[in-house]
Amino acid sequence: MLIDFINTLKDQVKIKAKYGIEFVGDPEKIEVGLTPRSIVYTEGSKNLYLYKGKNEKNSPLLLVYSLINRPYIFDLRPNRSMIEFLTNNGFDIYLLDWGDPRPEDAFSDLSELINGTMNRAVNYIAKLHNQKSIDMLGYCMGGTFASIYTAIYPDKINKLTLLTTPLSKNEGGLLQDIGKKLDVDKALSSKGIISGREMKMFFNSVKPVGMIKKERDFWKNKGEEKFLDTFLPVEKWSN
């Protein structure tokens, strides 16, 4: 029994050495988004990335992400990556990353994002692959953008897939109720951009108990490497 205890203790020390310092001291050290990629198109802070498929055999797929959070949720870790899975199955994956907003982005509206940046990205991909239409997947707010784009340009989209996409203004739940009480115009009046810190406070207010549960789960499972290998990258993404 003593030997088992010592071995367990050794394992926990290794896990804490691997994850503990990174999480407590510098979460940015947690490695995410490890699938090889290249930038093929750029507009200001916005980048179009290509993840080259193995033995290309399918239509190119454009991932349209939200303006909020980072898009590496599609590519968290090896064996925990949608992009890795799709490229292994022969898809050329393109990811539209909106990047960090710059002062000039304060003047961009939905038309510029959808009829401008998105449309130019779709045209670029279609021309590159000598196709009239491509496949598109929209995530969260990116799904809303993708839906609008497909309605405007139906001939340019072959297949449309939506994940966690808000479409009905009547089914926003608590998030919508809180949003109605916010003076967005006032928040935008000074800089034209709402900071990530302010957005995080807003989303945390929707499920305040979730923050407590998350911390409880971390301390309860901090000795489990399998748990940490998923928890820490997701925690980095959500922050």
**Phi, psi at 43, each rounded to 5°:** -140, 105
| E runs forming strands in 35-185 | 38-43, 46-51, 61-64, 75-77, 80-81, 93-97, 134-139, 157-163
> What DSSP designation does 124 have?
H
SS3 assignment, position 43: strand
Tell me if 228 sits within 8 A of 221, measured CB to CB.
yes
Beta strands 134-139 and 157-163 are parallel
- Strands in 134-139's sheet, in edge-to-edge order, are 38-43, 46-51, 93-97, 61-64, 134-139, 157-163
Active-site residue identified among 63, 136, 140, 146:
140
Sign of the torsion angle spanned by Cα atoms 208, 213, 219, 222: negative
**Phi, psi at 121, each rounded to 5°:** -65, -45
Is residue 210 part of the annotated active site? The answer reads: no
| Residues forming the active site | 140
